[in-house]
Amino acid sequence: MSGEEGAARFPVLTVLALMAGIFAVGSEELVVSPLLVDMSTSFDTTVAIMALSVSIYGISTAVGALLFAPLGDRFSRRLSLTIGMAAFVLGTLMCALAGGPGVFFTGRALAGLATGAFVPTAYAFVGDHILYQHRAKAMGILVSSWSISLVLGVPMGSFIGQWANWRWTFGLLSVLGVFVAFVLLLARTGARPCDDENPEPAADAASAPSEKWVRAATRALLAPKVGLYVLATFLNMLGFYGMYTFLGSALQYRFGEGSSMTGLMILLYGLGFATSFVTGRWADRFGKERVLIGLLGGLTPALVAIPLVAARTPLLVACLFLWGSMQSLVVTLLSTLLSESSQQYRGTVLAFYSLATNLAVALGAALLGPLFTRYGFTALGSVCAGITLMAFALSAWAHRRGAEPSTRGDTAPVRTLETEAAGSED
């Protein structure tokens, strides 16, 4: 079969392999929360110390994206994906076999670097090797992997850790990584498709001088509302990861070690997170900025309430589901508003969005771990609520600075969660 014929067909196996890879790295990033107590017991240390592995993972992911993801522009993306997944497998195996925190942290750092390289390269691979008529479908599948990792990967990892041992969770993720690397190495998608308007990929992006990047970054941050929304993203994710990182430990203290209720509660949060596939349409109807402000305002009391109702299971279920629902739509709206803020510098703007998110992952665990250890879950919820309140204020300020792009007569299409993935090809 010729390369043109292969490209014309939807490469199901390759897309599913990319989906499985993002599911694996997403699960590894989030699964630490319900396993912190067991890991701290294994290594004879504190939950706050083991939570630093979340910070290490977040920093390494940001560094990996900055250093290694651009290599796919110069070399084979398939090879970059395979090497990235191989590094992820090695780092995950180090975590599974670690005899002490030092080796575990090293494994997390290596897995984080691999994640930073793999995920952006996977998105770019779709744009390179899948024709326009299939691209949105492929991107939608890849983006959904994050929700699946939260809805399925984290609860499954929690159950495995409670029934067997936390090391088995990392061991099974490494097995999944081996499968992904093997499929990516063998599968074929055909020749790289070229759009008629742009028959060859832009070569100047990868080789542009650093001063051009600095100039583009400065102009991107100076675009209307970009700085405010990037900072709001950082604060929202800081409050989220500060709370979520220690949610599993708090639930384990509440229900007892070995209880399956911890995994079940996190599953309920994940189910709430998945509702943005439906609620995203409401934002287009009522205005994305107005809905974002309302959600951030609702998240603030929700973060205060979760620790207070932890002893009342029905109320806890409702609060966790509601938290997941609101947080999922907030993430979608912030990323969408930023992607619409500057068509010329869209890639640079979203790079800042990714940097803000990963920096929040790192600092959320590092800064709030001692607070959780010393003052408990209630104090943690109040601080995370205060951080989210600042994100609410920034979003309200941004809204007051002018109308949304879609109401100013811009040509940018209104995006929902279902259509956001399609915009990644721009």
Report the CATH number that the domain containing residue 186 is assigned in CATH: 1.20.1250.20
> 8 with 92, same domain?
yes
Q: How far is CA 301 from the centre of its chain?
A: 24
Whole-angstrom distance, CA of residue 423 vs CA of residue 406? 15
Cα angle 220-225-231, degrees, rounded to a multiple of 5: 85
Dist. CA 62–CA 346, nearest whole Å: 18
The total number of structural domains in the chain stands at 2
Any domain includes 65: yes
Q: Residue 416 has what pLDDT?
A: 38
150 assigned to some structural domain: yes
Where does a domain end: 133, 165, 192? 192
Q: Is residue 201, in this structure, part of any structural domain at all?
A: no
Q: Is there a single domain that holds both residue 405 and residue 353? A: yes
Low-confidence ranges of the chain (pLDDT < 70): 1-10, 69-75, 127-144, 146-147, 150-151, 187-223, 257-259, 276-277, 280-281, 284, 339, 342-348, 350-351, 402-426
H/E/C letters for each residue in the chain?
CCHHHHHHCCCHHHHHHHHHHHHHHHHHHHCHHHHHHHHHHHCCCCHHHHHHHHHHHHHHHHHHHHHCHHHHHCCCHHHHHHHHHHHHHHHHHHHHHCCCHHHHHHHHHHHHHHHHHHHHHHHHHHHHHCCHHHHHHHHHHHHHHHHHHHHHHHHHHHHHHHHCCHHHHHHHHHHHHHHHHHHHHHCCCCCCCCCCCCCCCCCHHHHCCHHHHHHHHHHHHHCCCHHHHHHHHHHHHHHHHHHHHCHHHHHHHHHCCCCCHHHHHHHHHHHHHCCHHHHHHHHHHHCHHHHHHHHHHHHHHHHHHHHHCCCCHHHHHHHHHHHHHHHHHHHHHHHHHHHHHCCCCHHHHHHHHHHHHHHHHHHHHHHHHHHHHHHCHHHHHHHHHHHHHHHHHHHHHHHHCCCCHHHCCCCCCCCCHHHHHHHHHC
| In a shared domain, residues 233 and 370 | yes
CB 81 within 8 A of CB 121: yes
Is-contact 330 296, C-beta < 8 A?
yes
Domain identity same for 270 and 137: no
Give residue-wise pLDDT tens across range 331-374. 878 877 876 776 666 656 766 777 788 788 888 888 888 899 89
pLDDT given for residue 318 in this prediction: 93
What pLDDT score was predicted for residue 12? 77
Same domain? For 15 and 47 the reply is yes
- Whether 198 is in a domain gets the answer no
| pLDDT of res. 33 | 81
Q: What pLDDT is attached to residue 205?
A: 39
Amino acid identity for residue 150 in this structure = L
Cα–Cα nearest to 268, from 328, 306, 323 = 323
- Asked if residue 107 is part of any domain, the answer here is yes
Q: Is residue 381 part of a domain?
A: yes
Are 177 and 282 within one domain? Answer: no
Radius of gyration of the chain (CA): 21
Handedness of CA 75, 78, 84, 87 (dihedral sign): negative
Amino acid, res. 86 = A
Domain boundary among 140, 157, 192: 192
Q: Which domain holds residue 121?
A: 1-192
**248, 346: one domain:** yes
pLDDT in tens, 4-34: 444 446 677 888 888 888 889 888 887 888 8
Residue 22 belongs to some domain of the structure: yes
Same domain, 245 and 332: yes
What pLDDT, on a 0 to 100 scale, did the predictor assign at position 167? 94
Pair (218, 76) in one structural domain? no
Q: Are 274 and 402 part of one and the same domain?
A: yes
Considering the domain boundaries, does residue 202 fall inside one? no
Tell me, yes or no, whether 178 and 322 share the same domain: no
Q: Are residues 122 and 223 in the same domain?
A: no
